[in-house]
């Protein structure tokens, strides 16, 4: 999943899980409804172990690359079978900035209408668009990142074993990638993109390579300046607006801006 010019991203969650937070399932196209129901049954089992409050519905997002082609009757049947769940469908684009307890991302297959989408833009349209990233499927990777980070607890990725998405293949093999692929004493700079939806871009400089210290968990932050911008605040422009609002409580946008509560930018 990594652009060759970007660093590995580590995410630290406030929710601690002993088991992996991602499940990849192989499913045939005709068995998709059954696969979704199997995921929901697995969620039921997980919530039973967590002793979930029965009065509070479990929020589940079903996420696809394209507009929903499945009938509302199918989703109505699924909802009827799992009344404790609040189940909604979103495209990956529409899911940006929202969050559920669990997410099921389907149609992770290869091909023209798969994920990544292989439909090329009209050559005339490309004349008015920004220059594309040279890394393969860069925009689709950002969109995929948005889809798989919508769940607080667990995400299910549904693919077809006969034609899996290249993203699924990379996820399976990504543990083989080491940071040495990006850094060396002769190559001390790398670009790091965080929160692909907003596009925070950083240039990270390697200062030195030191021996590992026994009984120390890595990566380890040893220094930093300024507070981290809140998630989904709208990129650089949105963060600048947020800082302006924080500095002026009477600002007209103070009540509409999300993400600034308790933030001290210094």
Q: What are the tens digits of pLDDT across the range 244-265?
A: 887 887 776 655 554 445 555 5
pTM above 0.75, yes or no: no
What's the confidence (pLDDT) of residue 62? Answer: 93
pLDDT for residue 11 is more than 80: no
What radius of gyration, in Å, describes the C-alpha atoms of the chain? 21
State the pLDDT at residue 49. 75
| Per-residue pLDDT at 150 | 92
Look at strands 22-26 and 151-159 and give their pairing. Answer: parallel
| Local confidence band at 179 (pLDDT 50, 70, 90 cut-offs) | confident
Q: What is the pLDDT of residues 199-240, one digit of tens each?
A: 677 788 888 888 888 988 887 888 777 667 776 666 777 788
Question: By the 8 A CB rule, do 133 and 5 touch?
Answer: no
The pLDDT of residue 231: 65
Closest of 183, 181, 177, 179 to residue 207, by C-alpha: 183
What percentage of the chain has pLDDT greater than the value 90?
Answer: 20
Task: Give the 3-state secondary structure of residue 112.
Answer: coil
Residues 6+ apart with CB under 8 A from 79: 85, 87
pLDDT above 70 for 131: no
State residue 199's pLDDT score: 66
Segment 37-45 shows an average pLDDT of 91
Q: Can you tell me whether residue 145 is helix, strand or coil?
A: helix
Could you say which architecture CATH assigns to the domain 22-176? 3-Layer(aba) Sandwich (3.40)
In the predicted model, what is the mean pLDDT of residues 60-76?
79
């Amino acid at each position: 999943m990594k652009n060759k010019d970007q660093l590995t991203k580590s995410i630290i969650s406030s929710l601690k899980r002993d088991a992996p937070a991602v499940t990849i399932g192989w499913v045939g196209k005709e068995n998709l409804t059954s696969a979704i129901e199997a995921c929901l049954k697995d969620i039921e089992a997980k919530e039973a172990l967590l002793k979930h409050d029965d009065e509070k519905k479990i929020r589940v997002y079903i996420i696809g690359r394209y507009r929903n082609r499945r009938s509302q009757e199918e989703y109505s049947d699924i909802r009827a079978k799992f009344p404790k769940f609040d189940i909604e469908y979103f495209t990956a684009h529409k899911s940006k900035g929202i969050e559920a307890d669990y997410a099921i991302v389907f149609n992770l297959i290869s091909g023209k209408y798969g994920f990544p989408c292989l439909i090329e833009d009209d050559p005339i349209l490309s004349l008015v668009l920004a220059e594309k990233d040279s890394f393969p499927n860069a925009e689709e990777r950002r969109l995929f990142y948005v889809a798989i980070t919508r769940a607080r607890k667990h995400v299910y990725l549904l693919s077809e074993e006969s034609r899996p998405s290249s993203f699924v293949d990379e996820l399976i093999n990504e543990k083989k990638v080491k940071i040495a692929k990006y850094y060396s004493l002769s190559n001390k700079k790398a670009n790091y993109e965080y929160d692909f939806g907003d596009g925070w871009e950083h240039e990270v400089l390697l200062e030195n390579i030191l021996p590992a210290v026994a009984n120390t968990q890595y990566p380890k932050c040893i220094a930093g300046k300024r507070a981290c911008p809140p998630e989904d605040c709208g990129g650089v422009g949105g963060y600048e607006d947020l800082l302006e609002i924080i500095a002026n409580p009477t600002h007209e946008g103070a009540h509409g801006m999300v993400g600034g509560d308790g933030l001290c930018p210094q």
